[in-house]
A and B are shown apart, each in its own frame.
Chain A
Amino acid sequence: MVRSSPVVSGSETTPVEQAPVSAPARVPQERGLSWRMLGRWEVALLGFVLGTVLFGIAETPNFLTGTNFFDFGLNIGSIAIMALPLTLIVMTGEIDLSVASTLGLASSLLGYLFAHGWPIVGAMALVIVVGLACGLFNGLLITRLGLPSLAVTIGTLALYRGIALIILGSNSVTGFPSSYTTIGTSPIPHTELSWSLGIFILMAIVYAIVLHATPVGRAMHAIGLQQEAAFFSGIRVKRIKLVLYALSGLLCSIAGILWTFQYATSRYDAGIGLELTVVTIVLFGGVSIFGGRGTIVGVVMAVCVIGGIESALTLMNVAPQVQQIVTGCLLLISVILPNAAEGIGRIRARSAISRRANE
């Protein structure tokens, strides 16, 4: 009876006999558990955030300064923006590895159009449309042809980067108007927020509302937990996934525009390899790679931890190899800890049942 609750309405009118068969005893237990676990992981994340800040303050005198906060936002903002749509995609049990290539394509196209005399606003508009098209292309291959998202987006990872290379070749485009490139050196007026981080925060609020306070958000949870059940209860699974991929393309192109202005340069290799950082943020934020579990708050905290640690270690002049090891370990912890908690929970539940049986 618990299992039908996330599926919202309409579960009575659909062919129910199929869904409960696959999951009757297991699912209710896991849902109860996963809710508790999720709470726990967020508490752990909060601990990580505080730990990062304390570590930064203790190890370097310049950590908690306005300038460093701006630098932090500058370095992580565009990456964080790409993590939001990916969060929703992973929630529905899919993946998008083409995010950084979409960013690179957006940067190249923006540079190409600008170099060919387009007004900057027009160029930005077309770049966003193309980003949307990139996301739609991923989404159509995955939802309409039913192809696995991992394979499709590894393919478009190479494809979009390749198109970027064709557009710009080995050239780089510079000379963007300084009123735009100032986002790379100056924060939003009267704050220490970089523009990219400011946009991320706004977007995060919108995404949090959609994911946690709307029927569509609940539908995403349901799709991730059990796709067939969600489908049979009337959720438009393919439509939702298609929209999520389109949104991913859109936000990645916005990240690409920010990236280009921030570095005052357009190049085909903009943001190369960043998809792994984005995935790391999403998973460390507590979003289950199997779908169905995750919060925007968790992802926001993961952004703080991963960006904050990078910032502190750079200020301390720790070798970048060590920084990678730290990030790698964090990711492992984020996978191991909830799983261990789940295991312990299951053992406890089992012993409780046997105790009850013995009584």
Chain B
Amino acid sequence: MNLRGSRLALAATTAVVSVASLVAVATNSASAASSRLKSGETIYFIPKDTLNPYEVIADAGGKTALNAIGDKQVVSSGTADTAAAQIPSIQAAIAAKASAIVIAGNDPSALCPSLAKAQAAGIKIVSFDSDVTCPNHLFINQANTRQIGTSEIDLLASEIHSTGQIAILSAAATATNQNAWIKYMKVELKKYPKMKLVSTVYGNDDPATSLTVLQGLLSAYPNLAGIISPTTVGISTAAQYLDTHKALLKHLTLTGLGLPSQMKKYVLDGTVKAFELWNPSNLGYLAGYAAATLASGTITGKAGQSFTAGKLGAYKILPAAAGTGPSVVLGPPTVFNKSNVLKFNF
């Protein structure tokens, strides 16, 4: 009863707000949204952990956005990549009466009870990097999941002449984003009948574990032609290993998702030819704008609404699709190689 009532109210509000925003868009064009953002709001960024270099950059991007708006950013998380370590940060956001939470989920569902509590307290929820399955939140997609999975395979195929045994060096076996990309990699592999995925190993985003599983992989498959590591920790560990074992490079090619700052050494000395990534700073920046816009009530996070994210321009909220709720896509991933790797400082 109660639930239905509140849902009705929500639907009514949504309708009113979307009509209002439609009018606003019609009269004032899309760029109006950013100038109307409320300042002085507190927005919690809850990364997977506080030390992951990738998320540190994304959080900094969010800070740039929030500074421009005049909101306050608080970054809070644990040191271990577990949902249990993130929940105290959600509780802290509720206690601090934050207006929005931007979270990279360590688990798709374990955070939902806590996030639901936050929503009940009036906090808007934005997820980025790794989505959660809870209802009523906006997901900032770094790139289309399918695009990443397929482009990784295409990139490797072009380097190894579409032939040979390949393997994947992933992060945690439970990581939502990794598993989604791997799923699309497997689909894309059907295009290359001579390429065979022989193994997927998990380095848990820990350099020591990544190295151990990599060594196991190389001894189990001495003729391995390619490794895709769709995680910054995995690819940098593997690149470092190949750098000191150059003989392997005769038959083995490494690619994946990496940070230009960590990978430029290996790209310049030829250990790695090319790798991909979106710009994590822009991802955080976009998430910051999305959170601030939601917190201002300018948008409600429903599909079809649009908002302006500062220097990045206008974004439109995409409708829910298989497994994801309403989302915004940052853009296609960038391929980094010798020609451009020095231009990026993240």
Contact = CB atoms under 8 A, between A and B. Distances in A.
Interface string A46-69: 000000000000001010010110
Q: Taking each of A60, A268, A314, which has the highest tally of chain B beta carbons within 10 Å of its own beta carbon?
A: A314
Interface residues of B, number: 37
A272 B83 CA distance: 11
B88 A67 contact: no
A43 to B, nearest CB: 30
B83 A263 contact: yes
Contacts of A172: 107-110, 174
Contacts of A271: 84
Interface stretch (B70-78, B217-225, B263-271): B70-78
Given A319-B50, A320-B77, A269 B94 contact: no
Interface stretch (B111-119, B144-152, B310-318): B111-119
A214 interface: no
B174 A62 contact: no
Interface in A132-178: 165, 169-170, 172, 174
Contacts of B237: none
A314 B88 contact: yes
A66 B79 CA distance: 27
B82 interface: yes
Contacts of B173: 165, 169-170, 268
A272 B81 CA distance: 10
B91 interface: yes
Given A317-B76, A319-B50, A320-B77, A264 B84 contact: no
B112 A264 contact: yes
Given A67-B95, A172-B174, A184-B113, A75 B107 contact: no
B80 interface: yes
Given A314-B91, A317-B76, A320-B50, A265 B117 contact: no
Given A174-B109, A319-B50, A71 B79 contact: no
Given A170-B174, A319-B50, A185 B116 contact: yes
Q: Taking each of A165, A268, A269, A272, which has the highest tally of chain B beta carbons within 10 Å of its own beta carbon?
A: A269
B85 interface: yes
A70 to B, nearest CB: 9
A321 B75 CA distance: 13
Nearest to B112: A264
Given A170-B173, A185-B113, A273-B80, A310 B94 contact: no
A221 interface: no
B113 A62 contact: no
Contact of B107 (A262, A265, A321): A265
Contact of B50 (A67, A170, A267, A321): A321
Interface string B58-99: 000000000000000011111110111101110110111000
B113 A264 contact: yes
B31 interface: no
Given A71-B88, A185-B116, A310-B88, A324 B79 contact: yes
A62 B79 contact: no
B78 A263 contact: no
B78 A320 contact: yes
Contacts of B78: 320
Interface string A265-300: 101110111000000000000000000000000000
A2 B290 CA distance: 72
B109 A265 contact: yes
Interface in B116-130: 116-117
Contacts of A75: 84, 87-88, 91
Q: Taking each of B51, B109, B113, B117, which has the highest tally of chain A beta carbons within 10 Å of its own beta carbon?
A: B113
Contacts of A170: 173-174, 179, 202
A265 B110 contact: yes
A68 B92 CA distance: 9
Contacts of B77: 320
A320 B107 CA distance: 19
Interface in A161-201: 165, 169-170, 172, 174, 181, 184-185
Nearest to B76: A317
Nearest to A259: B84
A38 B96 CA distance: 40
Nearest to B175: A170
A263 B117 CA distance: 13
A65 B179 contact: no
Contacts of B87: 74-75, 263
A169 B91 CA distance: 30
Contacts of A71: 88, 91
A163 to B, nearest CB: 15
A166 to B, nearest CB: 12
Interface string A248-267: 00000000000000111101
Q: Taking each of A267, A311, A321, which has the highest tally of chain B beta carbons within 10 Å of its own beta carbon?
A: A267
B107 A65 contact: no
A267 B112 CA distance: 15
Nearest to A184: B113
A60 B92 CA distance: 11
Given A62-B95, A169-B173, A320-B77, A264 B88 contact: no
A315 interface: yes
Contacts of B82: 269, 272
A8 B49 CA distance: 52
Contacts of A311: 88
B222 to A, nearest CB: 27
A317 B74 contact: yes
A320 B85 contact: yes
- Which 7 A-B residue pairs are closest in the complex by CB-CB distance? A170-B173, A62-B95, A265-B110, A263-B110, A184-B113, A314-B88, A174-B109
Interface of B: 49-51, 74-80, 82-85, 87-89, 91-92, 94-96, 107-110, 112-114, 116-117, 133, 172-174, 179, 202
28 contacts: A62-B96, A65-B95, A75-B88, A75-B91, A169-B173, A172-B107, A172-B110, A172-B174, A174-B108, A174-B109, A174-B133, A184-B114, A185-B116, A263-B83, A264-B112, A265-B83, A265-B110, A267-B110, A267-B174, A272-B80, A272-B82, A310-B88, A314-B76, A314-B88, A317-B75, A317-B76, A320-B78, A320-B79
